Amino acid sequence: MRKWFIPVALLAAHLATAQNQAPVTEPVKTKAPTNWFNLDYSADKIRGVSSEKAYELVKKRKSSPVIVGVIDSGIDINHEDLKSKIWTNPKEIAGNGKDDDNNGYVDDVHGWSFLGNKDGQNVDKEGLELTREYGKYKKLFEGKAEADIPADQKDAFTYYQELKIAYNEKAQESKMMLPLIENLLKSYTEAGATLKEYLKKDTVTAEDVAKIDKTTADGKLKRAIAAYERGFQMGYNEKELQEAYDHYKTEAEVQLNPDYNARQTIIGDNPEDTKDHNYGNNDVIGPDARHGTHVAGIIGADRNNDLGMKGVADNVKILVVRAVPDGDERDKDVANAIRYAVDNGAQIINMSFGKAYSPQKEAVDEAVKYAESKNVLLVHAAGNESQNTDVEPNFPNRKLKSGSEPNNWIEVGALSWEPNKVANFSNYGKKGVDLFSPGVALYSTVPGSKYEELDGTSMASPVVAGVAALVKSYFPKITAAQLRQLLIESTVKFPEQQVNQPGGEGQVAFGELSNSGGEVNAYNAVKLALEWEKAGKIK
């Protein structure tokens, strides 16, 4: 699922206001420096991953190109900062309508989409996996009493009861949030119109509002000032409110609608048939490539073209695999996407997606083990629900149904640029999360050769994938298992440091949020790789 989320500060503030209570969140006081995730704490006093410093250690070495698979919503392969970094299939002739390399995928020049059909139609929006599972079991058990359930269906009925509770809770939350956000958007938009007319400006800043003489303002203007001051304080604006409204509207109409099934209409396959691999199309951009394009830029946007921003890795080729709709991804597509990326040479795969249910987990597990057998590192975002994933699992994950854990998986939580602050939305886990990485206000590429700041563990994961690619490019013989170990061992560790508890109040020792108690660091990773190479550990 593309985890767009409305800032917690906004929700808390608005809900508190609705109940005539004081907001419980702190105002936003600072702005993230551009390129902060590449910066170095000792030089810049910003806890980035020290990318620039890392390159000083390898400036006399040659690098090898690293193929990084990005399984996501799609990527704008024509973006000014990415077009030179997009993988091209050397065995495929573009546009001839043939499967030149005989891999089952026609004209897969820059990758493949498992969300389309041969006529060029694409799945954009999808339901939540919770909704799909609830709808499936509802058809079997709705209206039936437990006493009427055969013994061999008892477990399934219990599962249905759990799904029903979770679905109803989610539906109720959505039903509450949509009108709240709609009203807030309406009042904020009206306030903006009032202020723009008064100031004779198209854009209104905090400084503009502060200069208005409130003593002479009429009631309408005072209300507009108050609305904008609240927005400035809590860190939201009209664009973010519109996105929040669109998100909750889609959630209500599509993601929580058990009868919605664009998959059947467009692709027509059986999503539960995980042995089926040959479907989709070569449209790797898709109907909404914002999320995937942003992820790709963080990993490897051109560092030498003086445009926009710099990705972490300087010698990568991005292999695009579209498998993540606006909604929850299907296990079948995830499994096929991993296999496709591996079979086409990906050495590292970034997976900035996740969900609460995984009905075909065995298929994904098999793909993960396949990647492990082919020496491919998998980097995965921990999720944005402020949850302990040791208790509330986020799928996919490295804990296989067999009980084993592969050695090629790294799970990533998100940090803010602010000192000693974990992203409030970030999932965490003493066992399940390996390390943390910059994930708040990351400035990166978006479609149309534009750039934007976005938040999420979806942004933290590609930072780690970028660091992994940086190391791999200068130390090509390092294995996926070694790369995972190196990234964890070389983290900047501050396990005893007190940080904010994600999703809650109070403080917690940073070491309780991951198994490393640290943040990924490119300089430390390269330094350790040099030591391992000297010791003969990397051969």
Which residues are designated catalytic? Answer: 72, 291, 458
DSSP, residue by residue, 323-388: ---BSPPPHHHHHHHHHHHHHTT-SEEEE---BS--TTHHHHHHHHHHHHHTT-EEEEE--SS--B
Contact present, 398 and 369 (Cβ < 8 Å): no
Angle between helices 457-474 and 522-534 (to 10 degrees): 30
Integer Cα distance of 177 and 185 in angstroms: 12
- Taking Cα atoms as reference points, which of 369, 370, 382, 453 lies closest to residue 413? 382
Amino acid symbol at 325: P
Instruction: For residue 119, give both structure tokens.
Output: 């006529």
Amino acid symbol at 207: E
The residue written with tokens 């860190």 in the block is 235
For 18, list phi and psi in degrees, rounded to 5: -60, -30
- Taking Cα atoms as reference points, which of 63, 465, 524 lies closest to residue 298? 465
For residue 255, the 8-state DSSP code is I
For residue 529, the 8-state DSSP code is H
Q: In angstroms, how far is CA 339 from the centroid of its own chain?
A: 20
Integer Cα distance of 267 and 272 in angstroms: 13
Integer Cα distance of 353 and 411 in angstroms: 12
- Taking Cα atoms as reference points, which of 535, 536, 396, 379 lies closest to residue 470? 379
Contact present, 271 and 358 (Cβ < 8 Å): no
CB neighbourhood size of 162 (10 A): 13
Q: How distant, in Å, are the alpha carbons of 380, 484, 503 from that of 411?
A: 5, 10, 19
CB neighbourhood size of 175 (10 A): 12
